[in-house]
Amino acid sequence: MGRGSNTGNGCLSLTRFLSCDLPLRAVLHEDNVVFKKILIANRGEIALRIIRACQELGVKTVAVYSDVDAQSLHVRCADERVCIGPADDALSYRNIPNVLSAAAMTGADAIHPGYGFLAENTHFAEVCELSGVTFIGPASEHIALLGNKVKARHTMVQHNIPVIPGSDGEVHTLGQAVQIARNIGYPVMVKAAAGGGGRGMRVVGREEDLGKAILSAQVEARATFHHDGVYLEKYVVDPRHIEIQVLSDAHGHAVHLGERECSVQRRYQKLIEEAPSPVVDKGLRNRMGKMALKVVKAVQYRNAGTVEFLLDHKRNFYFMEVNTRIQVEHPVTEMVTGTDLIKEQIRVAAGLSLSFRQRDIGFTGHSLECRINAECAETFTPSPGMVPHVHIPGGPGIRVDTALESMGNVNPQYDSMIAKLIAHGQDRDEAMARARRALDEFVIEGVKTTIPLHRIILRHPDFQKGRVNTGFLDRLLVSRLP
């Protein structure tokens, strides 16, 4: 099994350890308050990424896993491990009683949720707070406020932060929706109030399609978020998706670490991210950064977060949402700023001050990230299965975040992203050249991946010239249809 030992036989029961007392949050270590042991409530590459940060900080780790992940790399690399349920993530990785029981039985004083699963679950953060175990992320009240897009939008309006024209709150009748859409003009976007990740969103170009779009968005929102409320926004045609990485501590320090360009996406799911954006100059970066910090201060946000904006053709930007967690694409920011965002999350959660200030943050070179998914590059259908051989690319400027290894499995129960290829160069051309070289070197046998599509995108003249927006990939895919 590698390092550490299993803490029990078989998977953890639902209630066995719920009555156990949880330990104190932190201890003295090298003149700083840090955690003794952190449980990672996630799997795959992000779990491994957090484990590595903890190892560098001298903090013990606990991996939780479902029965199909028993031999996974993140499980073998942790100091301790606990099986918390079967493959179904509702019974394992999203199972709050089992995750907290694992923390209690192993003596973990903090939990890092990574991204996905429980990372933006208000109830989970609340239960952690009540149990005395530290949730490495923002307070539950901030997750609740910013996770509800209608409440977040209302808060931004109150603080004079630019938002896209739309409804003042959830729409409750078709007649109300029709009137709002007429006022702001078509096309409009129907959005789930509790949404995220592109779920519960519909673009409507004509009034006669509005009712059907609302019902469709409500059905998806109810199934995904257990809340079917929707609201309306003006649909900005072919904008750029620009996000600002922020960090804030409990001592009044808040910083932004520049922007990430996330416009290459399919159905609101990002495929390639880069920093800095090809179209954001120093002046625009400063304005967007200051606005992101205004968002942070408006709600007294703590820990890492991402403020997302839409940027139109006239370089006007509008608040879209706040992701109250570490992002999949955080490595590109780390590469151009020389920071470790996971370590800063842990420091802030332990009550320490940020290890740098805004004046200390500089930007060096250019970085981009390719999300490698186990999917058919033509149809985007999942491609799970055994991976007999993997060759990870290397060389100057290349970083690969993955938990995939030869003779490993891509499990169909979970998200299809299996690796992130991050390239860094002295400028955008060199970063792209290194990414293309690494993609050609990358070998993943046994399953289909999106590597061929990444090769096409990185060789496309519009991408090479930075002429992308949120409609770029859809147009590219349509042009390649027979």
Domain count along the chain? 3
Chain mean position to CA 242: 14
The predicted-structure confidence for 433-461, as pLDDT tens digits, reads as follows: 999 999 999 999 999 999 999 999 999 99
Residues 198 and 289 in one domain: no
Q: Which of 214, 234, 254 is the last residue of a domain?
A: 234
8 Å CB contact between 477 and 375 = no
- What element of type H or E holds 22? none
Decide if 208 is inside a domain. yes
Check which CATH number belongs to the domain holding 460 and give it. Answer: 3.30.470.20
Residues 176 and 294 in one domain: no
Which residues span the domain enclosing 396?
A: 240-479
Cβ contacts of 16 within 8 Å, gap of 6 or more = 101, 105
Q: Please state the rounded mean pLDDT for residues 180-187.
A: 94
In this prediction the pTM is 0.88
Residues 212 and 101 in one domain: no
Q: Which of 234, 256, 279 is the last residue of a domain?
A: 234
Catalytic residue among 94, 153, 325, 347: 325
The predicted-structure confidence for 371-429, as pLDDT tens digits, reads as follows: 999 999 999 999 999 999 999 999 999 999 999 999 999 999 999 999 999 999 999 99
> Nearest to residue 119, comparing CAs of 46, 228, 59, 66?
46
Residues 327 and 423 in one domain: yes
Residues 268 and 226 in one domain: no
8 Å CB contact between 203 and 189 = yes
Give the per-residue pLDDT at 197.
66
Decide if 454 is inside a domain. yes
The predicted-structure confidence for 294-327, as pLDDT tens digits, reads as follows: 999 999 999 999 999 999 999 999 999 999 999 9
Percent of the chain whose predicted confidence (pLDDT) is above 90: 86
Eight-state DSSP code of residue 404: -
Whats the size of the chain, residue-wise? 482
Residues 449 and 362 in one domain: yes
Is residue 162 pLDDT above 90, yes or no? yes
Beta strands in 194-350 (DSSP E): 201-204, 230-234, 240-248, 254-266, 269-275, 303-311, 317-323
8 Å CB contact between 190 and 214 = yes
Q: Which of 174, 209, 234 is the last residue of a domain?
A: 234
Check which CATH number belongs to the domain holding 92 and give it. Answer: 3.40.50.20
The predicted-structure confidence for 134-156, as pLDDT tens digits, reads as follows: 999 999 999 999 998 889 999 99
Give the C-alpha separation, 337 to 347, whole Å.
Answer: 18
Is residue 26 pLDDT above 80, yes or no? no
Give the per-residue pLDDT at 230.
93
8 Å CB contact between 137 and 324 = yes
Residues 225 and 88 in one domain: no
Q: Look up 302 and say whether it is catalytic.
A: no
Give the C-alpha separation, 412 to 214, whole Å.
Answer: 30
8 Å CB contact between 427 and 366 = yes
Residues 192 and 252 in one domain: no
